Amino acid sequence: MVVDPWGAIIAQCSEGVGLCLAEIDLDYVAKVRSEMPVWQHRRTDLYGRVTALHSDSSIISPEEQDSYQFGHVTIKSSQVFYRTLLSLAFVNNKPVLPGRIFLFCSVNLLR
């Protein structure tokens, strides 16, 4: 069975073993993603409210800082691909799986 993002059945196999195909309209997918009411459907009673701590997140250049300390390991700036005010995202030198990334809090928060 092939279902579109709104739940409409696009293609369906008959009983037993079968194969069904459907064309993917990437423009339609982009339109649906922009119109999907995810914030209206969010269950704040279960997951809490999401608020931005700081709206100034940015992609950083390797020249900005030479390295970062992650426990006893030094992370080279060339491994860091994204940074916000409170966190870093970086790749491992030898990831177990392709595209494996790590995130950690770059600022100690005191409560």
Q: What is residue 61's predicted lDDT score, i.e. its pLDDT? A: 52
Q: Is 60 exceeded by the pLDDT of residue 55?
A: no
Highest mean pLDDT among 18-27, 31-40, 42-51: 18-27
DSSP 6: T
Full-model pTM: 0.35
Mean local confidence (pLDDT), 103-111: 52
| Per-residue exposure over 24-47, b if at least 16 CB sit within 10 Å of its own CB, e if not | eeeeeeeeeeeeeeeeeeeeeeee
Q: What is residue 17's predicted lDDT score, i.e. its pLDDT? A: 86
Residues 6+ apart with CB under 8 A from 102: 70, 89, 90, 91, 92
